Amino acid sequence: MSNETKEVFEPTIDPSSTTVQEMFGSILNEKIQAGALEIAISKKVDSLIEETADDVFRSYSDLGKALKEKMTNAIMPQLENLDDLPTYHDFVLNRLKVAAQGFYDSRLTEVLDKEFAEILAEVPENITLSYIVNSLLEEAQEDNEPEGSITLIINDSNYSWNKPGDSLTVYIDKEADQSEHNCSFDLHLSKDKETGKYDILSIKIDDKKPGEALSMGRLYRMEKILFNVYAMKGRIELDQGLDADDYETGWDHY
């Protein structure tokens, strides 16, 4: 049950002795005297001011349009000052140059360093014909044959009795009893008078010269070693002499 007391209206004008027109005039005069009209007018004025300001600052108003134009000019650059703006294609080309340079500086350097390291690792400080023969002999035995031999032929290309061995041609093959023309390795050597070792004048492996072999793909084992020696101007020592019979070319596992 609510304890609130309802406010009861107590009439101040006797309706039995006052007409409606007199009652209205009396109440109106009373409200005016109390400032009700001033308050109402003040609210309307405030509302009118707000509406007017909203209209003035709307984008479609004259003031709104003027402000928008001024702000746009202040923010946007002058197009006539952008004559040197690069085209899309220029931007793409410049990005490609940057990307390519980054590749050269990082990835390509890494690849080349690795290749150079492999080349240097595959070239003994003192390569000898025995080293070459023994390496090919080991490769030939990978077929697990109990016995066998490789082919080694050493020819004195320009033999003369007073200058033997100045110019040699060495033929090697992992198969036995091959002719000169059928051997996989064909080395033309020239003797260095100071060191007694031999420069490689030309080289063919499986009838391919260095440039042709490199264009065919990666090289492995003795092919790579001999091409590296040739490319780096290395020399070969015929450590067992100029006779092929002085080198061990066969194996027997019985």
Bridge-based pairing state of the strands 185-191 and 167-173: antiparallel
User: Domain segments of the chain: what residues?
Assistant: 20-72, 86-121, 129-252
Residue 183: count of CB within 10 angstroms of its CB:
22
- Per the structure block, which two tokens stand in for 194? 């100071």
Q: What is the DSSP letter of 81?
A: G
Question: What pLDDT, on a 0 to 100 scale, did the predictor assign at position 150?
Answer: 94
Region for residue 35 given its phi and psi (left: phi exceeds 0; alpha: psi -120 to 50; beta: otherwise): left
In degrees, rounded to 5, the angle at the alpha carbon of residue 154 between the alpha carbons of residues 148 and 157 is 155
CB 134 within 8 A of CB 152: no
Predicted confidence (pLDDT) per residue in 147-184, tens digit = 899 999 999 876 656 677 889 999 999 999 999 999 98
The model carries a pTM of 0.50
Most confident of 87-91, 117-121, 184-188: 184-188
Residue of higher predicted confidence among 154 and 253: 154
Helix (H, G, I), strand (E, B) or coil at 134: helix
Residues 252, 147: Cα–Cα separation, whole Å: 4
Residues 132, 121: Cα–Cα separation, whole Å: 15
Predicted confidence (pLDDT) per residue in 81-116, tens digit = 555 555 656 766 777 777 777 766 776 677 667 766
